Amino acid sequence: MFTGIIESIGIVKNIKTEGDNIHITVESELTKELKVDQSMAHNGTCLTVVNIDGNTYTVTAIKETLEKTNLGEFEIGTKINLERAMIMGARLDGHIVQGHVDQVATCTHIQEEDGSWVFTFAYDALHEDNITIEKGSITVNGVSLTVVNSKTNEFSVAIIPYTYEHTNFHQFKIGTKVNLEFDVIGKYVARLLKK
């Protein structure tokens, strides 16, 4: 379980393919606080730490994960948003995030405003439970955000300077692929309403 509040930006240092899986080695200031078997969100994707070596750690992404996330696009030097699993009893500053990416979206528009940015993302309505609502929660590359301008296959989010600088949003361009996790409560409500 995560909150969508990014703790650090990691840098991909190595990628090793083994069958359908890839092993991703990440350099991070959080490494010294990690243990093997811990969960860590990488651009919102929950992965298990399998090895630690100095200031780097390694996680493994399986075929299913690679098909449903943007992890397969990682290269050496890619910056990724990192968040450790939530501690029970701690403040929930973002919203309830499972680390289970629903699908990948594409950045279609970036508008710089006076001191902030509005990013627009398009996604396929692959599943009718994957919806956004105005002022609802959405996770984009692991970042807990509030939806604005919600449409059937598109939504926007407003980004403050702190978020822009301390996540990988500052690297986004038109066409950038991002991981989406729709609000888990919204998904359950949508499913119940169908019954």
76-108 pLDDT, tens per residue? 999 999 999 988 777 778 788 889 999 999 999
* Domain 103-194, second-level architecture: Beta Barrel (2.40)
Whether the CB-CB separation of 145 and 137 falls below 8 Å is answered with: yes
Please tell me the CATH code under which domain 8-84 is placed.
2.40.30.20
More confident residue, 194 or 12: 12
The CATH 2.40.30.20 domain(s) of the chain lie at 8-84, 103-194
Find the mean pLDDT for residues 2-15.
96
CA-CA-CA-CA dihedral for 24, 26, 85, 129, to nearest 10: -50
Instruction: Give the Cα separation of 53 and 83 in Å (integer).
Output: 19
Whether the CB-CB separation of 99 and 39 falls below 8 Å is answered with: yes
- Taking the mean position of all CA atoms in its chain, how far away is CA 188? 20
Beta strands in 54-153 (DSSP E): 56-61, 79-84, 103-112, 117-122, 137-140, 143-148
Query: What's the whole-model pTM score?
Result: 0.91
> Confidence class of residue 195 from pLDDT cuts 50, 70 and 90?
low
Whether the CB-CB separation of 11 and 78 falls below 8 Å is answered with: yes
Instruction: Give the Cα separation of 159 and 169 in Å (integer).
Output: 8
